């Protein structure tokens, strides 16, 4: 990196805050030109970690203090005042290093909807080339899919548990169409998920984008760098301040500061830096740079619940629970990079309409040949399932109407923000989740899956009345770890938009946000693929603007 000979101050053309799903893309694409100096600051450390690299290891990473921010929400009124655990990646690769690896782009209508909200260039036809460029789909390329890109997308049909295939067949028997590719022409139907693995290892954004270019002379990656604020000269962002160990340091940006710190940390850093709702910032003693009412607002997340069944045949419980079983699958993984440890436990899935009058799928299905009846929602240990053979079928909402918010609680950059997701604050969200319960049971009663099920454990076969089903959902529903929207993209800051369609922060210069926080509306399904796409599209726009 450049150093100012007078002050010893570090400088780069672009300073990227966060080496997560989008930040890794920016690091790679912006540094392709050897004349462009790029610095990336990451609060966490190396992704060379057992719990990161082994695919099923994400169960260990969910609670690991060195890999995870380990946030919790405030008590949620509609969930019986429960606090909900929010794991967020604090490691090179960000949440792509600790997620369940399910690869889902979203529906065509999601991105067309972004454009319709006043964001030109974000329709599906515009983002599809970026999705294709970023992936190496091992099932091959076609009109919708790409190959030879940085992110390896692996089909799991040959290695999925036999019960996962039975689930797909049962879904078809229950009246759902088969879908061999949820990222193809249509998302609707039931099938097996594709996951981001390569040769038996996790393929995170770091694996695909950052690690192969770490030796570029014009790219500096600074780990354990906790950004405390953005530095401004007037209304222009000119650098960032960060703490590394006991040292408070600065790095200046000659072109732009780019926040890619995620749906929690990007709005947190903006507020700490004086960009947010003016009254709140003044109350905390923070000088206001830009009164931006939308920062931290528009918080969206998918939530879901599982129906858990005892099986009368072996499931992954029989393999992962006893130490002998774990030793055997561990040895298999070491020798072949195959077996259960090379997969996600989310093997089957689907996208369905909760009622025939829906114009597109509004619910996502999950099937896992494993069960966890004693785990707190969102906190199950993947290598410690139930002692009996079990399986689960789950459902989450694709297009929640509920909105929440988050905000800093003090001017202390090390204090976790106040997170209020507002789950089920819109009654329609509970209605459609409750409608999904009938499909879960219809699949469980359909062959060939039905022959392997002994009984329904949770919520139990006696829970049949709609009021009881809805109450069970309130008690057991939890996040599926897809927060977004807290720095929403849009044309009107007075209406809550934080960034414009080129991801520049409204009202200031030299500052962009590039991560899932810019989603004006949440996409249908898992968010890692669209987060990486945002990184690809942003890199193109930044390079265009650089000329």
pLDDT of the residue at 8: 55
Residue 93, by phi and psi: left (phi above 0), alpha (psi -120 to 50) or beta?
left
Take residue 354 and report the two structure tokens written for it. Answer: 């909760």
Residue 216's closest CA among 64, 470, 84, 33? Answer: 33
Give catalytic residues, as residue numbers.
482
- pLDDT mean across residues, the chain: 95
Residue 204's closest CA among 366, 51, 37, 38? Answer: 51
- Each as own residue / partner, the long-range contacts of residues 412-415 (CB below 8 Å, 24 or more positions apart, any chain) are 413/226, 413/227, 413/228, 413/229, 413/243, 413/268, 413/269, 413/272, 414/226
pLDDT of the residue at 2: 57
Take residue 297 and report the two structure tokens written for it. Answer: 């607002």
Instruction: State the Cα–Cα distance between residues 251 and 4, nearest whole angstrom.
Output: 11
Question: What is the set of domains in the chain, with CATH numbers?
Answer: 1-152+197-300+398-416+482-547 (3.50.50.60), 157-192+303-397+425-476 (3.30.410.40)
Residues 6+ apart with CB under 8 A from 70: 63, 85, 86, 87, 88
Residue pair 195/344 in contact by the 8 Å Cβ criterion:
yes
Neighbours of 131 (CB within 10 A): 24
Take residue 13 and report the two structure tokens written for it. Answer: 């053309």
Please work out, in degrees rounded to the nearest 5, the angle formed at the alpha carbon of residue 211 by the alpha carbons of 244 and 126. 105
pLDDT of the residue at 306: 96
Residues 6+ apart with CB under 8 A from 272: 228, 229, 286, 408, 411, 413
pLDDT of the residue at 366: 98
pLDDT of the residue at 4: 45
Q: Which DSSP string do the residues of 325-390 spell out, in sequence order?
A: HHHHHHHHHHHHS-SGGGS-S--EEEEE-SSTT-SS--EEEEEES---SSSPTT---TTS--SS-E
Residue 504, by phi and psi: left (phi above 0), alpha (psi -120 to 50) or beta?
beta
For residue 171, CA distances in Å to 165, 349, 455, 458 come to 10, 10, 18, 20
Per-residue pLDDT of the chain (547 residues; tens, 9 = 90+): 655 433 457 999 999 999 999 999 999 999 999 999 999 999 999 999 999 999 988 888 888 999 999 999 999 999 999 999 999 999 999 999 999 999 999 999 999 999 999 999 999 999 999 999 999 999 999 999 999 999 999 999 999 999 999 999 999 999 999 999 999 999 999 999 999 999 999 999 999 999 999 999 999 999 999 999 999 999 999 999 999 999 999 999 999 999 999 999 999 999 999 999 999 999 999 999 999 999 999 999 999 999 999 999 999 999 988 778 888 888 898 889 998 889 999 999 999 999 999 999 999 999 999 999 876 655 556 668 899 999 999 999 999 999 999 999 999 999 999 999 999 999 999 999 999 999 999 999 999 999 999 999 999 999 999 999 999 999 999 999 999 999 999 999 999 999 999 999 999 999 999 999 999 999 999 999 999 999 999 999 999 999 8
Take residue 151 and report the two structure tokens written for it. Answer: 């992110």
pLDDT of the residue at 377: 54
Instruction: State the Cα–Cα distance between residues 319 and 200, nearest whole angstrom.
Output: 18
Indicate the DSSP class of residue 517: G
For residue 105, CA distances in Å to 88, 127, 427 come to 20, 10, 27
Tokens 């009164």 — which residue?
A: 291
Q: Which DSSP string do the residues of 428-444 spell out, in sequence order?
A: HHHHHHHHHHHHHHHHH
Q: In what order do the strands lie in the sheet with 151-155?
A: 135-137, 151-155, 194-195
pLDDT of the residue at 6: 39
Indicate yes or no: pTM above 0.75: yes
């Amino acid at each position: 990196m450049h150093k100012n000979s007078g002050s010893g101050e570090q400088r780069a053309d672009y300073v990227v805050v966060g080496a997560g799903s989008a930040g890794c893309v920016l690091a790679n694409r912006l540094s392709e030109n050897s004349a462009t100096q790029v610095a990336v600051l990451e609060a966490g450390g190396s992704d060379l970690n057992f719990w990161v690299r082994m695919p099923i290891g994400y169960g260990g990473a969910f609670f690991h203090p060195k890999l995870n921010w380990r946030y919790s929400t405030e008590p949620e009124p509609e969930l019986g005042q429960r606090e909900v655990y929010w794991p967020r990646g604090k490691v090179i690769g960000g949440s792509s290093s600790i997620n369940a690896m399910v690869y889902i782009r979203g529906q065509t209508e999601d991105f067309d909807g972004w454009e319709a909200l006043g964001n030109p260039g974000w329709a599906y036809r515009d983002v599809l080339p970026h999705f294709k460029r970023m992936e190496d789909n091992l099932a091959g390329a076609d009109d919708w899919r790409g190959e030879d890109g940085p992110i390896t997308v692996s089909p799991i049909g040959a290695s999925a548990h036999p019960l996962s295939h039975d689930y797909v067949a049962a879904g078809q028997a229950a009246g759902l169409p088969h879908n061999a590719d949820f990222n193809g022409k249509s998302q609707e139907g039931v099938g097996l998920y594709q996951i981001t693995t390569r040769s038996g290892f996790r393929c995170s954004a770091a694996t695909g984008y950052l690690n192969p270019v770490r030796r570029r002379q014009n790219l500096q990656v600074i780990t354990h760098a906790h950004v405390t604020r953005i530095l401004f000269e007037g209304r222009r962002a000119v650098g960032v301040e960060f703490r590394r160990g006991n040292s408070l340091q600065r790095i200046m940006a000659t072109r732009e500061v780019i926040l890619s710190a995620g749906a929690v940390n990007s709005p947190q850093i903006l507020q700490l830096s004086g960009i947010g709702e003016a009254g709140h910032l003044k109350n905390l003693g923070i000088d206001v740079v830009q009164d931006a009412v939308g920062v931290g607002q528009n918080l969206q997340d998918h939530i879901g619940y599982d129906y858990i069944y005892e099986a009368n045949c072996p499931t992954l419980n029989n393999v992962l629970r006893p130490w002998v079983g774990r030793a055997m699958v561990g040895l298999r993984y070491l020798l072949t990079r195959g077996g259960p440890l090379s997969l996600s436990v989310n093997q089957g899935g689907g996208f369905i309409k909760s009622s025939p009058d829906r114009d597109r799928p509004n619910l996502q299905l999950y099937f896992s040949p494993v069960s966890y009846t004693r785990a707190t929602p969102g906190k199950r240990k993947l290598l410690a399932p139930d002692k009996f053979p079990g399986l689960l079928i789950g459902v989450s909402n694709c297009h929640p109407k509920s909105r929440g918010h988050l905000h800093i609680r003090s001017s202390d950059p090390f204090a976790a923000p106040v997170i209020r997701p507002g789950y089920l604050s819109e009654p329609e969200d509970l209605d459609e989740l409750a409608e999904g319960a009938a499909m879960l049971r219809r699949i469980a009663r359909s062959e060939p899956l039905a022959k392997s099920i002994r009984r329904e454990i949770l919520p139990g076969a006696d829970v049949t009345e709609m009021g009881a089903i809805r109450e069970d959902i309130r008690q057991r529903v939890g996040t599926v770890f897809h927060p977004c929207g807290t720095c929403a993209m849009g044309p009107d800051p007075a209406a809550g938009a934080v960034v414009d369609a080129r991801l520049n922060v409204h009202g200031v210069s030299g500052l962009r946000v590039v991560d899932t926080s810019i989603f004006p509306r949440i996409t249908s399904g898992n968010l890692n693929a669209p987060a990486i796409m945002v990184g690809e599209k942003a890199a193109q726009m930044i390079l265009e603007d650089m000329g």
